[in-house]
Amino acid sequence: MSRILLLMLSIVAIIYLNTMGVAMEYNRLTPEEERVIVHRGTERPFTGRFLSHKESGTYTCRRCGAELYRSDDKFDSGCGWPSFDDEIKGAVTRKPDPDGQRVEIVCTACNGHLGHVFKGEGLTDKNTRHCVNSVSLDFVPAASKSTSAAVFAAGCFWGVEHLMKKAPGVISVKSGYIGGHTDNPDYNSVCSGKTGHLEAVEVVFDPSQISFADLTRLFFEIHDFSQTDGQGPDIGEQYKSAIFVADAEQRRVTQEIIKQLREMDYKVATEIREATKFWPAEAYHQNYYEKTGKNPYCHIRKKIFK
């Protein structure tokens, strides 16, 4: 049975259950997600977590989980919201917007608000732009052997994310927490120093374009790896320098680069830790410097390696 037919049957089943009065279980939404998805609101432009997202995979409905868009159909329109020039067949329903001018798009399966669709702008060959709120979406990465991941802690994750994502071959960088002893940490609990988590970034990259060694060298060039109590003015356990290695090869590479630094008379306080569960930080921490237009205050690249 084809993927499209399976999707259509699933949508028909959901619509049927709704019609019959059977209660559907949806994902729990934050107040902001409910404002946009249920009450037809709009998130602020240039703030959404999927605006600059480049990872391969499928974008799904945040409310019900239905598949909506493929990453291959995403493009940069410059409008401030994630843009797609096509949807998965049957997944998105168009309806006249109450403003009498635009065309609203909603998830066919649950009627959750996604955004609006525009035609005739000439931005892509398909001449269509689905302007979608990031909070209306979730993302399922494509299962691929062509990508790898690395986790680095180098003080405030805002600056680390900002500089890491500029490297060629980097697909995505996500700010978050790792290394602690509690589940579902948030910013306030991590800042209390009682969870043991460090602020860190998870870097997804294409190893055919950039290696773990290259990223590790970049990591050392963008922060003060000699500082033991934090990073710059940010003092505390959560701001320590560490690399969370996923396997023996990442550990070997990290140890070799630290050895090189010490042979160059650098003091290295960076810890090597086993990778544990990475907890993504709150949405407002993602793409922080892109949203605010500011520059990192304690992360500046200083060339060390040739």
Encode pLDDT of 16-44 as tens digits: 444 433 345 688 888 999 999 999 999 99
- pLDDT of 237 over the 60 cut: yes
**Domain count across the chain:** 2
**pLDDT value of position 143:** 63
Residue 91 lies in a domain: yes
Residue 156 lies in a domain: yes
Per DSSP bridges, beta strands 148-154 and 241-245 are: antiparallel
189 and 100 inside one domain: no
- pLDDT of 13 over the 50 cut: no
- pLDDT of 214 over the 90 cut: yes
159 and 263 inside one domain: yes
Encode pLDDT of 99-149 as tens digits: 899 999 999 999 999 999 999 999 999 999 999 999 999 998 876 557 899
Task: Return mean pLDDT, the chain.
Answer: 89
**pTM higher than the cut 0.75:** no
Encode pLDDT of 154-213 as tens digits: 999 999 999 999 999 998 899 999 999 999 999 999 999 999 999 999 999 989 899 999
Q: Residue 9: which CATH number?
A: 2.170.150.20
Residue 303 lies in a domain: no
C-alpha–C-alpha distance, residues 92 and 115, integer Å: 11
**pLDDT value of position 14:** 47
Encode pLDDT of 56-107 as tens digits: 899 999 999 899 999 999 999 999 999 999 999 999 999 999 889 999 999 9
18 and 132 inside one domain: yes
15 and 72 inside one domain: yes
**pLDDT value of position 20:** 39
Catalytic residues: 131, 156
239 and 283 inside one domain: yes
Mean pLDDT within 1-9: 49
Q: Are 146 and 208 in contact (CB under 8 A)?
A: yes
Instruction: Provide the token pair at 155.
Output: 């003080």
- pLDDT of 9 over the 60 cut: no
- pLDDT of 284 over the 90 cut: no
Instruction: From 141, 165, 194, give the residue that closes a domain.
Output: 141
**pLDDT value of position 147:** 85
136 and 208 inside one domain: no
C-alpha–C-alpha distance, residues 91 and 70, integer Å: 11
C-alpha–C-alpha distance, residues 173 and 150, integer Å: 10
Domain that holds residue 184: 148-292
C-alpha–C-alpha distance, residues 87 and 65, integer Å: 15
Confidence of residue 297 (pLDDT cuts 50, 70, 90): confident
* Among 159, 142, 158, 160, CA closest to 150: 160
Instruction: From 141, 175, 197, give the residue that closes a domain.
Output: 141
Residue 304 lies in a domain: no
- pLDDT of 7 over the 60 cut: no
C-alpha–C-alpha distance, residues 192 and 306, integer Å: 39
Q: What is the DSSP string of 45-101?
A: TT--TTTT---SEEEEETTT--EEEEGGGEE--SSSS-EES---TTSEEEEE-TTSS
Mean pLDDT within 288-293: 81
